[in-house]
C-alpha cells in the first residue's frame, strides 16, 4: 500500500480481482499485469499531470468483481482467434455526475502489451482531455464525445503497435462479492470471505484477521472492492476450526442479506465534502432490516459460498450510501442507492437522503432511477422496511430486487417510500 497518487490528477490504485491466482474458475491470473501497470504509473511524473484522475481495472476472472465497466480503463478476459488469452479493452466508465458504463472499443490486448496500452490511453487523455472544466474532465466525457470508434483511432495513433480487434469475450460480467467459503483452484484449499459491513473494522480485529491468516491460511489477507476481506489458502481440514473463531461471529462469512449488501463511503466523520453521516447509520439500517426480515430477502436459495444457507449475489439487497453526490459508495449500481442531502423538518434543517432504485452491474447493468428526494434520515428505516415488504409480496419467482424495482413504475415506488402506498400489483393489473 502506498499513499503515492492516492489523490491528484494521475493514475490511481489499479484494481484487480481479490482472488486472482486462487479463483477456481479464473481464465488466467492477471495480478502480475495489474502490478506492472501500477509500477509503471506510480511516481511517473510524465503521467502525473493528466486532466483529471485516471482509474484502471484489470482482471482475468470471469466475474468482473474489479468492475471494469466503471473505470476509465477496464481490461477483462478474452481469447484471440489464434487461441492466445488476454483482454478486451473497455474505456470511459465511471459514476458520480455523468455516470457512464464503459465502452468496448474492439481491441484485444495480450498481457505483455497491457502496460503500453494503458500508457497510450493516458497519453491520449493527457493530450485531448478537457483541461478547462474540471466538472467534465474525466475520460468518460472524452469517450462520449469522440465515440468508441473515434477513440480507438486516436489510441491506434499513439500505441507502439497495431491494435488487433477484440477477441471472444470470456467474462460472465459482474457476479457480486466473495463472501463465504469457496474452493480454490489449488486442490484441498479454500478461501473464506468475511463480511465487513461498510468496510469498518476495529484495529484489534484487523490484527486478529492477520493472525488467523497466519494460523490457518497462507498468511495473506485480501481486500475486495465491496469492502470485505478474504483469508486465502485454508486447507480443508482446518476450515471448521477457522469458522469457529470468535472473529467470524463479528465479521461473518454468512451474514444477513442486508449487512452483506451494505456499502457506505466515509461521510461527515472524515470527509470534508460530506453532507451526512454514513457509516454508523448504514450499519444500523442494515442490521435493522436483517432483524425485521429475519435474515432473508426472497427465496434464500442459491448460496454464494458453502457456509450455511447463505445469500448469493442473487439473493441480497445491496444498499449503498454516499454522503454526497460524488458516488464513492457507488449508489448508482445498488439495488437501493442513497445520496446525502438536507431537508427541512419541523422548522429545522436535518440530514436526509435521496433514494434511487433498480441499479446493478452484470448482464443487465443499469443505473438507478432517483425516485424520492431529501427524505429525513430518521424516516428512512421505516421507508426501507415498507419497500422491502412490498418487494417480498410482489416479486415473481427468482426476481431480484433491482428487477422488481425496474418493473414497478417509479410513481408507485415513490408512493411506497412516502407511505402514501400506491396500488398493489393486483390492483394495477385490473
Q: Return residues touching ligand SF4 (CB under 6 A).
A: 265-267, 271, 273-274, 322-324, 326-328
Evaluate whether 148 touches 71 at the Cβ level (below 8 Å).
Answer: no
The nearer residue to ligand SF4, 253 or 261, going by C-beta atoms, is 261
Helix, strand, or coil (residue 44): coil
Give the position of cell 409480496. Answer: 393
Q: Report residue 295 as a C-alpha cell.
A: 435474515
Q: How many CA atoms lie within 13 A of 342 on its CB side?
A: 8
Distance CA 39, CA 184 (A): 27
Q: Which helix (H) or strand (E) holds 233?
A: strand 229-235
Nearest to 75, CA basis, from 20, 157, 3, 2: 20
The nearer residue to ligand SF4, 84 or 223, going by C-beta atoms, is 223
Evaluate whether 253 touches 247 at the Cβ level (below 8 Å).
Answer: no
Contacts of 63 (CB under 8 A, 6+ apart): 17, 23, 25, 171, 172, 173, 174, 175, 176
The nearer residue to ligand SF4, 213 or 276, going by C-beta atoms, is 276
CA angle 386, 200, 176 (to 5 degrees): 65
The nearer residue to ligand SF4, 95 or 231, going by C-beta atoms, is 95
CB of 302 to ligand SF4, least distance (A): 32
Evaluate whether 150 touches 57 at the Cβ level (below 8 Å).
Answer: no
The nearer residue to ligand SF4, 271 or 366, going by C-beta atoms, is 271
CB of 420 to ligand SF4, least distance (A): 30
The nearer residue to ligand SF4, 239 or 374, going by C-beta atoms, is 374
The nearer residue to ligand SF4, 274 or 353, going by C-beta atoms, is 274
CB of 127 to ligand SF4, least distance (A): 28
Is residue 112 classed exposed, middle or buried when 0-12, 13-18 and 19+ CB atoms within 10 A define those classes? exposed
Amino acid at each position: 500500500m502506498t499513499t503515492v497518487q492516492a489523490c491528484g490528477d494521475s493514475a490511481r490504485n489499479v484494481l484487480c480481482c481479490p482472488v486472482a491466482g486462487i479463483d477456481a474458475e479464473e481464465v488466467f491470473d492477471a495480478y502480475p499485469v495489474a502490478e506492472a501497470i501500477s509500477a509503471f504509473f506510480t511516481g511517473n511524473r510524465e503521467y502525473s499531470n493528466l486532466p483529471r484522475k485516471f482509474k484502471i481495472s484489470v482482471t482475468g476472472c470471469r466475474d468482473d468483481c474489479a468492475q471494469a465497466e466503471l473505470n476509465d480503463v477496464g481490461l477483462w478476459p478474452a481469447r484471440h482467434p489464434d487461441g492466445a488469452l488476454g483482454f478486451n479493452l473497455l474505456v470511459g466508465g465511471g459514476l458520480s455526475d455523468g455516470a457512464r458504463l464503459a465502452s468496448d472499443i474492439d481491441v484485444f490486448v495480450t498481457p505483455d502489451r497491457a502496460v503500453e496500452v494503458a500508457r497510450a490511453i493516458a497519453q491520449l487523455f493527457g493530450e485531448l482531455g478537457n483541461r478547462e472544466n474540471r466538472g467534465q474532465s474525466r475520460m468518460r466525457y472524452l469517450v462520449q464525445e469522440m465515440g468508441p470508434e473515434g477513440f480507438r483511432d486516436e489510441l491506434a495513433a499513439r500505441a507502439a503497435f497495431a491494435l488487433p480487434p477484440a477477441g471472444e469475450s470470456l467474462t460472465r460480467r459482474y457476479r457480486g462479492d466473495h463472501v463465504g467459503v469457496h474452493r480454490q483452484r489449488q486442490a484441498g484449499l479454500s478461501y473464506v470471505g468475511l463480511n465487513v459491513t461498510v468496510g469498518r473494522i476495529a484495529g484489534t480485529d484487523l490484527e486478529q484477521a492477520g493472525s488467523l491468516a497466519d494460523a490457518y491460511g497462507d498468511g495473506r489477507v485480501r481486500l475486495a472492492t465491496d469492502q470485505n476481506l478474504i483469508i486465502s489458502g485454508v486447507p480443508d481440514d482446518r476450515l471448521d476450526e477457522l469458522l469457529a473463531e470468535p472473529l467470524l461471529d463479528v465479521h461473518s462469512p454468512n451474514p444477513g442479506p442486508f449487512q452483506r449488501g451494505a456499502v457506505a463511503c466515509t461521510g461527515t466523520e472524515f470527509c470534508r465534502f460530506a453532507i451526512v453521516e454514513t457509516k454508523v447509520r448504514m450499519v444500523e439500517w442494515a442490521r435493522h432490516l436483517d432483524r425485521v426480515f429475519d435474515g432473508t430477502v426472497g427465496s434464500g436459495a442459491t448460496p454464494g459460498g458453502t457456509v450455511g444457507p447463505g445469500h448469493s449475489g442473487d439473493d441480497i439487497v445491496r444498499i449503498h450510501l454516499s454522503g454526497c453526490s460524488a458516488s464513492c459508495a457507488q449508489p448508482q449500481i445498488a439495488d437501493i442507492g442513497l445520496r446525502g442531502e438536507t431537508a427541512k423538518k419541523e422548522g429545522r434543517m436535518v440530514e436526509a437522503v435521496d433514494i434511487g432504485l433498480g441499479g446493478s452491474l452484470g448482464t443487465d447493468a443499469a443505473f438507478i432511477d432517483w425516485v424520492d428526494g431529501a427524505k429525513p434520515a430518521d424516516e428512512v428505516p421505516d421507508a426501507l422496511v415498507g419497500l422491502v415488504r412490498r418487494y417480498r409480496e410482489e416479486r415473481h419467482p427468482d426476481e431480484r430486487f433491482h428487477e422488481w424495482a425496474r418493473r414497478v413504475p417509479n410513481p408507485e415506488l415513490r408512493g411506497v417510500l412516502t407511505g402514501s402506498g400506491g396500488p398493489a400489483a393486483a390492483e394495477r393489473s385490473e
